[in-house]
Structure 1
């Protein structure tokens, strides 16, 4: 997982999940970590919701909502996310006339799950520690070429 972010940025990922997700390399590293834990559907759902909320066309809102529903929400979806029955039921009832907010509750639940569970594990993971160490070591060599 090659990372091009400056060491300062890599260390800043520790601050919050938002900081990590706002950084292209941080997102890629976190996604790779989630894949290794077989829980990449969480970040994929979150990203799909972020993209969905930017949709302008009414026709695209319907088609994207249907796609998100079939990929992540409906029973036995290929990338089914772990949300409570009430949230899933509410989305199922509203999917025929979706709004840009129709996945907000589910997205908040998944974000919370990632922030409280996956993110702390990522920060403790060997993958993250290796990234920080490689960047710190690489940075020292760049700044001290005479060593």
Structure 2
């Protein structure tokens, strides 16, 4: 019953919670007589409010780390590893610690839904069961896409409508356009700020006992005024 995540195996959080969400709220009564618009909107808001509360209490399994909600970076990251992330956004996404640290930064900007949505889409593309695909698609749509969703991402109206139209029979690529837009937003907007944030700079400047990231001039070969090598250290 496990789902393998080929690109990012460390973020495989597929779980039967999605079924619980829909059982919790019950089926849509599409055959019932149409109620007044204001009453329908109120009921819809109540349903979304319950979903939001449920996600808050249980911890969304879409989160990179549901049990880590602080803005403190992982303690086992070396400065050398953290410096590699600055090469590119793609490089950062290859490392679980990089994604976790970036997620913590996004929480400080109240935009962690972007990385959670992107990861959910990555997981979605690995599903090979039609039943699970439908369940996962509805979950992603309810949590991240529809208007006033608990973790609604910032995508344009046309993209949102296009996704809504295929929710009855979702495809493997139905979230692709939205995922690309959110990826571009994180890469061009959030990632540069992350590299200048206290969270990232704190990682790159971290020092162990007696360690120093900056290389001092060697004391083994110092040249005097006559160009001769001497072992006498110069004052630094």
Both proteins in one fold, TM over 0.5: yes
CA change 1:132–1:67 in 2 (3 A) is same
Q: CA RMSD in A?
A: 1.6
Report the Cα distance in structure 2 between the residues aligned to 1:124 and 1:25, rounded to whole angstroms: 17
What are the equivalent positions in structure 2 for 1:1-147 lying under 5 Å apart?
1-134=73-206, 137-138=207-208, 141=211
- 1:61-103 Cα deviation digits (max 9, x unpaired): 0000000000000111000000001100100111111011000
Is the Cα–Cα contact under 8 Å of residues 113 and 151 in structure 2 kept in the other structure? yes
Contact preservation (8 Å) 2:78, 2:203: no
Tell me: higher relative CO, structure 1 or 2? Use CA pairs within 8 A at least 6 residues apart: 1
SS of the aligned residue for 1:115 comes to helix
Runs of 5+ unmatched residues, structure 2: 1-72, 214-236
Residue 52 of structure 1, CA deviation: 0.4
Separation in 2, partners of 1:123, 1:140: 26
| Structure with the higher fraction of residues in helix conformation | 1
Query: Matches of 1:57 and 1:114 in 2, distance apart?
Result: 30
> Gaps (5+ residues) in structure 1?
none
Q: Distance in 1 between matches of 2:121 and 2:169?
A: 16
- Taking the aligned partners of 2:103 and 2:210, their CA distance within structure 1 comes to 28
Alignment partners' CA distance in 2, 1:3 and 1:64: 33
- Name the TM-score, length of structure 1 as normaliser: 0.91
Cα offset for 1:34? 0.3
- Distance across 1 between alignment mates of 2:167 and 2:177: 14
Contact 2:121 2:175 in 1 (8 A): yes
* Distance across 1 between alignment mates of 2:134 and 2:197: 39
- Judge conservation of contact 2:78–2:204 (CA < 8 Å) in 1: no
Please give the alpha-carbon distance, in whole angstroms, between the structure 2 residues aligned to 1:77 and 1:107: 16
Give the greater-gyration-radius structure (CA): 2
